[in-house]
Amino acid sequence: MPVLSVFYGITIYLNTRGEHNPPHIHAKYGEYEAAFEIASGDLIGEFPRRQTRLIQAWIEIHREDLMINWEIARSAGECSRIAPLI
């Protein structure tokens, strides 16, 4: 699974296997793993509140890049890295 970004101990990646709708990213932080919808930033699963807010802010900043990566990943299975939240 291609890693898109890493920041504050959070790893953001795409699962490029099979059909996955709606467009979303996966995040891992310690023992937590969850998904976040790209369009809304909504959390799918359980994740610590502070890290959820960081990811949602990052999605807001990089929504266009995320959608481009989503489309490329679905067709070619490859992705470009996206700048971390600083």
Q: How many CA atoms lie within 13 A of 2 on its CB side?
A: 17
pLDDT digits (tens, 9 = 90+) for 49-77: 999 999 999 999 999 999 999 998 888 87
pTM, full prediction? 0.93
Question: Which two tokens mark 44?
Answer: 């799918």
pLDDT at 38 over 90: yes
Q: How many residues does the chain have?
A: 86
